[in-house]
Amino acid sequence: MDKSSKIYIAGHRGLVGSAILKNLKSRGYTNFVLRTHSELDLKDQSAVARFFEEEKPEYVILAAAKVGGIIANDKYRADFIYENLMIQNNVIHQAYLNKVNKLVFLGSTCIYPKEAPQPMSEDSLLTSPLEYTNEPYAIAKIAGIKMCESYNIQYGTNFLSVMPTNLYGPNDNFDLEKSHVLPALIRKMYLGKCLEDKEWDLIRLDFKQRPIENVDEKSSESEILSMLNKYGISQASDQDVKIEIWGSGRPMREFLWSEDMADATIHVMESVNFLDLINVTIDKEIRNTHINVGTGTDISIKELALLVQKIVGFKGRLWFNTEKPDGTIKKLTDVSKLHSLGWKHKVEIDEGVNLIYNWYENTKK
């Protein structure tokens, strides 16, 4: 790659895509081709074909995806498998047809079996059943990995796959129905603290920026309280605010700052090729060429909630609802392959939670 190479970032406004664009600019890259969802629907095969034929990007980073937390993954199963398969199929195939030099596909470590040995190595893929709640999304991402591998084997392309652990950072999704656990905790505790402090101006500002269902800043106080209660933020009295958290709090999770993920993605784009990931003299069957991206350390959901509570300053109660699913008890990635390729994360979880909460608060100003 040189600094004037034409780079297409699919999903450049999202959590990872925006961090990738920022990182590339900081490194001196200048030639970007970008489209919002309204400008280019990646599920539309003919539209994607026209885009590639007209723009002819040299490098592609496929960060666009339909994503969500445990509630959304289980509730919108058909949407998650259909939309992600369509996005991947269209972009990867057109990258091949239009002779893209290199493509990096972003997946997720939810591709690994529910009972995978910990930490999860790349070779754990397809060794036993997946976690049920996110099975459709995981299957779509596995298909993306296999599509990249298959095109490389059959056509000699240079399409790589990186599998990030749980990500968080600027431009995260704070929708209480569809967000992942960390942004959901940030927003819940922020709103809980506002209730404690009777900061209704801040609550309404939050609802203005991020309405919940059909409730926004113009809704009545009782409507806002009802919606907060629906999503686990309840107030029994002026002094007693309670935050519901799904599950027991025992599951262990690994979290990666999105700007670290962006840095890892660009490291792979600049420095790693498909042939670096296989041994052509002994690999009769080429499998599991994807690369885990994570920190290699984890934290329990309970410890995470307490950390967020401390940083936000929420003084109320945390209620771990054990009637709700925990999901997989432990999900920790083996990042030894990534380390061997010359990259390691920088931001630890304590620093990262401070960073994301400061970012969230600053969006209110």
Q: How many helices (H) and strands (E) does the chain have?
A: 12, 14
The C-alpha atoms of residue 17 and residue 56 are separated, in whole angstroms, by: 20
- Integer angstrom CA distances of residue 245 from 48, 305, 318: 40, 9, 7
DSSP conformation letters of 26-79:
HTT---EE---TTT--TT-HHHHHHHHHHH--SEEEE-------HHHHHHTHHH
The C-alpha atoms of residue 365 and residue 363 are separated, in whole angstroms, by: 6
Residue tagged active-site, from 59, 137, 168, 357: 137
> What tokens appear for 134 in the block?
């996110």
The C-alpha atoms of residue 33 and residue 4 are separated, in whole angstroms, by: 12
- Residue 120, phi then psi, degrees to nearest 5: -80, 115
The C-alpha atoms of residue 19 and residue 154 are separated, in whole angstroms, by: 32
Residue 82 annotated in active site: no
- Active-site residue list: 137
